Structure 1
């Protein structure tokens, strides 16, 4: 079972309506500093090298791109929750939490950070934005009883 939550831009509350992400003007250039703007949130995750991801790193739906990269569930008894947040106009953060995956590691969580990719003068203003994964990390829940998530089980 997959549950999808869309998180609003500033308040980070879950909603049941899937809003379109805010649109940037086509001539906007995204500063590279945006990619490194959330290092504290990354500290609790094990970095996943992007070159190890076999799926496409780009697409118009951040949740779908992240699920294609990290949403594989091996067992039917597992559950999955997906949260998509747009904390800034030029940033999408997708969190995928999978529980009941295996007895040895009851849970996995992935954080996938995305930014808009490219621009084209041939694309109309109303066209969907293309998002690209710029960073990804994982956490594990090592035991059923502990609520703590960590970069790795010890």
Structure 2
């Protein structure tokens, strides 16, 4: 089981976090999402039925990692996880795997959209509502920027 240190700071209503490896564990801290991240644009849809991990959790910082637990093979590094909490009824996570041991794929990035599990929005439990995937390829093997196109 991974330990996560949660550090919260920033203005009310504008909260994002990132998980980064520290001593083999993940540390979560606020971080702004990149300006180029467009909602669902440029992502290939990942059917929720294809995910083998948990699709609901009380911890939205861990839920993307639980949902994608079996999705990426070949990464010896922990993923970077950015959370955007600016919308009280939805949390968006960008989960980025870099340094894959693959001759064509350099990295994979997932956009995981989470919504409250209950209709009252008490936000005690969250569920995955949508997942998209992007790739960045090794030199000469396809897109060098994030793209929904599979590397060659």
Gaps of 5+ in 2: 20-26, 31-37
Q: Which has the higher strand share?
A: 2
Structure 1 pair 71/91, CA: closer, same or farther in 2 (3 Å)?
A: same
Partner of 1:152: 149
Cα root mean square deviation, aligned: 3.5
After superposition, give the CA deviation of every residue in 1:33-65 in whole Å (9 maximum; x if it has no partner): xxxxxxx51021001111111222100112311
After superposition, give the CA deviation of every residue in 1:79-98 in whole Å (9 maximum; x if it has no partner): 52111111211111111100
Gaps of 5+ in 1: 20-39
Partner of 2:83: 84
Q: What is the rounded CA distance, in whole Å, between the counterparts of 1:66 and 1:93 in structure 2?
A: 9
Q: What is the rounded CA distance, in whole Å, between the counterparts of 1:7 and 1:110 in structure 2?
A: 24
Q: Which has the higher helix share?
A: 1
Match for residue 42 of structure 2 among 44, 50, 53:
44
Query: Relative contact order, CA 8 A, sep 6+: which one is greater?
Result: 1
User: In the alignment, does 2:137 pair up with 1:142?
Assistant: yes
| Normalised TM-score (structure 1) | 0.65
CA drift at 1:119 = 5.9
| Normalised TM-score (structure 2) | 0.65
Match for residue 132 of structure 1 among 127, 130, 149:
127
Q: What is the rounded CA distance, in whole Å, between the counterparts of 2:84 and 2:9 in structure 1?
A: 4
Q: Is this contact kept in 2: 1:79–1:100, CA < 8 A?
A: no
Partner of 1:54: 52
Q: What is the rounded CA distance, in whole Å, between the counterparts of 1:78 and 1:17 in structure 2?
A: 15
